[in-house]
Amino acid sequence: MENISDATKQFIDLRRHMWMAGIEVDLRRLIWQIAVTGKYISSKIQESNRKLAGFENIYGEEQLALDRSSDEIIKRQLEFSGFVNQYASEERESIIQVGKGGEKYIVTADPLDGSSLVDTNLAIGTIIGIHRESILTGGDKSLIAAMYITYGPLITMIYSAGNGTHEFVLNREGEYVLSEESIILKERGNIYSIGGLRKDWAQKHHDYIRCLESEGYKLRYSGGFVPDINQILIKRGGVFTYPALKGNPNGKLRLIFELQPMAFLMEQAGGMATDGRKSILSIEPKTLDQRCPIYIGSKYEVEKAKAFLDGNKTAI
């Protein structure tokens, strides 16, 4: 759907966009059902923020941690979806059955990533992966769609079902309407988002970061994976990295719940995602909570990271 005018975009809601993109009906319904949970999670954030309603929420019910209550909202939505067989969440030890058996999809979630930022009023988000096959043994074709919802000044939702990467904004009527269609990253950007403590970085990572700084990259790091990635997508370039650390070679972020969905969305936008050597989507997870170093964003910066980590100075 090339060249949709801004005026027209506001009339293209999420369901119409997915229908126009020819996405199969069950997957369209599932993506929409998950997107709707964003409204409920957002009201939980409002309602349970201690600055608004004390440590008890306005109903006086026992206050679940926000990430666990967000997880419950998603689980309940999936139980009634009719399309989901299993659900894996960063908040749960194991994969759980939510369907009767035989349903088409398996859903992964980081229900509320960055929840430690809620009291600072910084943006946080929900990260979703939709799989056809087993999460652990389905290979790199298992992931067929990904999405994330950002709870910031606006509630926005980015999705892809292999049809490019697109942004929607939740309007006053409670509809997700198209705001950025077919996001495509430039060859390179000018922002870098770097996690982990400098004292724990390997020398090759230090050298890479120093090179970006010598090329004038601007530091943009909030401590929230979702808004930090969202900034690279919406600004059409740059790099986010949470590297291998001394004493923690797998870094901090989780392969299944955080990195695979973001890698899917970034690659659909013409970007790249690697652990420093292999593409994220080619890594077969061994365990649910497997962590992985990450370099994700526009091609120039990610290829440069690979060159530094390979010690291949000529390619730098």
In the complex, minimum distance from the CB of residue 59 to ligand AFP, in angstroms, rounded to a whole number: 25
CB 26 within 8 A of CB 188: no
- Out of 115, 126, 156, 274, the only residue in the binding site for ligand AFP (CB under 6 A) is 115
| Number of residues engaging ligand AFP in binding (CB under 6 A) | 10
Please report whether residue 298 would count as binding ligand AFP according to CB under 6 A.
no
In the complex, minimum distance from the CB of residue 122 to ligand AFP, in angstroms, rounded to a whole number: 10
- Out of 103, 113, 167, 181, the only residue in the binding site for ligand AFP (CB under 6 A) is 113
Within 8 A by CB and 6+ apart from 210, the residues are: none
CA 52 → CA 58, 118, 262, distances in Å? 9, 12, 32
Stretch that binds ligand AFP, among 7-15, 130-138, 218-226, 289-297 (CB under 6 A): 218-226
Whole-angstrom Cα distance, residue 202 to residue 246? 7
User: By C-beta, is 23 or 265 nearer to ligand AFP?
Assistant: 265
CB atoms within 10 A of CB 313: 9
- 129-168 footprint of ligand AFP as x/- string (CB under 6 A): ----------------------------------------
- Out of 29, 132, 223, 316, the only residue in the binding site for ligand AFP (CB under 6 A) is 223
Whole-angstrom Cα distance, residue 126 to residue 119? 17
Within 8 A by CB and 6+ apart from 82, the residues are: 99, 103
User: What's the count of helices (H) and strands (E) in the chain, helices before strands?
Assistant: 9, 13
Compute the half-sphere exposure of residue 175: CA atoms within 13 Å on the CB side of its CA: 13
Please report whether residue 90 would count as binding ligand AFP according to CB under 6 A.
no
Whole-angstrom Cα distance, residue 145 to residue 11? 23
CB 226 within 8 A of CB 124: yes
- Out of 38, 111, 195, 271, the only residue in the binding site for ligand AFP (CB under 6 A) is 195
- 173-192 footprint of ligand AFP as x/- string (CB under 6 A): --------------------
Compute the half-sphere exposure of residue 105: CA atoms within 13 Å on the CB side of its CA: 26
User: By C-beta, is 151 or 225 nearer to ligand AFP?
Assistant: 225
User: By C-beta, is 18 or 259 nearer to ligand AFP?
Assistant: 259
The widest CA-to-CA distance across the chain, in whole angstroms, is: 63
Please report whether residue 224 would count as binding ligand AFP according to CB under 6 A.
yes
In the complex, minimum distance from the CB of residue 14 to ligand AFP, in angstroms, rounded to a whole number: 24
Please report whether residue 114 would count as binding ligand AFP according to CB under 6 A.
yes
Whole-angstrom Cα distance, residue 87 to residue 92? 10
Within 8 A by CB and 6+ apart from 133, the residues are: 106, 139, 141, 142
User: By C-beta, is 170 or 262 nearer to ligand AFP?
Assistant: 262
Please report whether residue 63 would count as binding ligand AFP according to CB under 6 A.
no
Stretch that binds ligand AFP, among 16-24, 58-66, 128-136, 220-228 (CB under 6 A): 220-228
Q: Which residues bind ligand AFP (CB under 6 A)?
A: 113-117, 195, 223-225, 252
